[in-house]
Amino acid sequence: MDKQHMKFATKAIHAGQEPDPTTGAVMTPIYQTSTYWQASPGDHKGYEYSRGTNPTRKALEDCLAALENAKYGLAFSSGMGATDAVLRLLQPGDEVITGNDLYGGSYRIFTKVYAKYGIKFHFLDLSKPENILPHINDKTKLIWIETPTNPTMRIIDIEGVAKISKAHKLILAVDNTFASPYLQNPMDQGADIVMHSVTKYIGGHSDVVMGALLVNDDQLYKELWFVYNACGATPGPQDAFLVLRGIKTLHLRMKAHCENGEKVAQYLKNHPKIDKIYWPGFEDHPNHDIAKKQMRGFGGMVSITLKDADLAETFRVASSFKVFTLAESLGGVESLINHPVSMTHGSIPKEEREKVGVTDNLLRLSVGVEDIDDLLADLEQALA
């Protein structure tokens, strides 16, 4: 059977990873080389220089493409490297529509790097796709969305935004980091580009920083490959090998993240010290119905605000955990807790972030795959 038509778990283990043609090695070897022999100038075996092409990285890119039902995959040295590559498709004067709740690093590259080159960004409430329409003009080129968003878990209707994007001949890029390919496939809902911080759920073990772009369109792939090779933010084969290894259990880990995430969310929903809780699986979560439509599960990310809004109390709670680790990042097997205002979203101005609920008393949980009893006991003691 063609591996592209296999189910997710089988693709995760096999797609892009035929036994090595030279040795028959079942696991893709780490091709730790920068360059490749040529019988005569230009007469090579498809590999010339590892910034552009490397067999271990190619296996990973083909696997990631298969998981997102895409034709092509490109891996970058970080999620921001992947984001940067998409922005390099733009020209001065172009405009981008994006959400008003998004990862701080994405906000930063938009406002502190590409605004300098004359790119204009509109940060909108994308809870309804039609909110986009008044902001589209002849300079608009790209729509960039995250869903669920980091950190307030806003759900954006990918299909609805894609309809508008296609009607106006724009590029729609979807940052699928929080869902992972296991829970959501934006390509199937009309996205032109799917982006991942592979650092997160896909690598899944907090041991690699990497990004990826998945595309179907030949011309778009050609333009992105040019940036990838010319600008060189490409990862090495050892990291590619680690991610290939992580991907093999992605389906098992995501099931465990979803199960633990739901139990943690249910535990926190009525906790006396919690004011707000953000988890797309709750029926009263904004756009829950869209989440049900476009996601196969609600994931392991949960954000909360404490009733006691004093910053010192938020810091006390954040520092009181014994199983959850206070650290940036998310999506690893270990549970993490993050204080976006002082850690991952510091580059977003206070007045902007508070409009969308990223307040001093907000904490973001990345619920891992530890035993749920230990996670709940840790929450109980830290919130006591």
Stretch of residues binding ligand P1T (CB under 6 A), selected from 52-60, 257-265, 304-312, 326-334: 326-334
103 catalytic? Reply is yes
Judge contact between 227 and 82, C-beta under 8 A: no
Identify residue 165 by its one-letter amino acid code: S
Minimum distance of ligand P1T from residue 328's CB (angstroms): 4
Q: What are phi and psi of 68, to 5 degrees?
A: -100, 15
- Residue by residue, DSSP assigns 159-203 as HHHHHHHHHTT-EEEEE-TTTHHHH--GGGGT-SEEEEETTTTTT
Contact assessment for residue 116 and residue 275, using Cβ atoms and an 8 Å cutoff: no
Q: Which of 33, 36, 90, 105 binds ligand P1T (CB under 6 A)?
A: 105
Q: Which residue of the set 200, 253, 353, 364 is catalytic?
A: 200
Name the nearest CA neighbour of 200 among 291, 105, 321, 66.
105
Is 75 in contact with 195 (CB distance < 8 Å)? Answer: no
Choose the catalytic residue: 3, 51, 263, 296: 51
Catalytic residue among 84, 101, 175, 378: 175
Q: Which of 286, 329, 372, 383 binds ligand P1T (CB under 6 A)?
A: 329
- Binding segment for ligand P1T (CB under 6 A), chosen from 100-108, 157-165, 260-268, 269-277, is 100-108
Helix H segments across the chain? 8-14, 55-67, 79-87, 104-108, 158-167, 180-183, 218-231, 237-247, 250-269, 288-294, 311-318, 350-355, 372-382
Stretch that binds ligand P1T, among 62-70, 118-126, 172-180, 182-190 (CB under 6 A): 172-180
Nearer to ligand P1T, 33 or 347 (CB): 347
Pairing, β 95-99 against β 72-76: unpaired
The answer to whether 51 is a known catalytic residue is yes
Q: Which stretch binds ligand P1T (CB under 6 A): 33-41, 75-83, 224-232, 278-286?
A: 75-83
Minimum gap (Å) between residue 94 Cβ and ligand P1T = 21
Subset of 187-226 contacting ligand P1T (CB under 6 A): 197, 199, 209, 211
Cα dist from 95 to 106, 138, 294, 296, whole Å: 15, 9, 27, 32
With CB atoms as reference, the residue minimizing the distance to ligand P1T is 79
Q: Which is nearer to ligand P1T, 8 or 76 (CB)?
A: 76
Binders of ligand P1T among 130-169, rule CB under 6 A? 146, 150
Tell me whether strands 95-99 and 140-146 are parallel, antiparallel or unpaired: parallel
Q: Which of 50, 54, 147, 338 binds ligand P1T (CB under 6 A)?
A: 338
Pick between residue 162 and residue 330 the one whose CB is nearest to ligand P1T: 330
| Least distance from ligand P1T to the Cβ atom of residue 151, Å | 7
Residue 79 phi/psi, 5° resolution? Answer: -60, -40
Contact flag: residue 101 with ligand P1T (CB under 6 A): no
Strands, sheet with 72-76, edge to edge from the N-terminal-most edge strand: 72-76, 211-215, 193-197, 171-175, 140-146, 95-99, 120-124
**Cα–Cα distance between 178 and 15 in angstroms, integer?**
22
User: Any bridge partners for residue 363, and if so which?
Assistant: 304
CA distances from 339 to 316, 326, 343 (A): 11, 8, 6
Residues in the chain, how many? Answer: 384
Residues touching ligand P1T: how many (CB under 6 A)? Answer: 20
Residue 148 Cβ vs ligand P1T, minimum distance, rounded to whole Å: 9
Q: Which of 143, 330, 358, 362 binds ligand P1T (CB under 6 A)?
A: 330
Q: Which of 31, 72, 103, 107 is catalytic?
A: 103
Given the DSSP bridges, would you call strands 72-76 and 211-215 parallel, antiparallel or unpaired? antiparallel
Q: Is 328 in the site for ligand P1T (CB under 6 A)?
A: yes
Using CB under 6 A, pick the residue from 17, 53, 54, 78 that binds ligand P1T: 78
Q: What amino acid positions are annotated as catalytic residues?
A: 51, 103, 175, 200
Where does this chain bind ligand P1T (CB under 6 A)?
78-80, 103, 105-106, 146, 150, 175, 177-178, 197, 199, 209, 211, 328-330, 338, 344
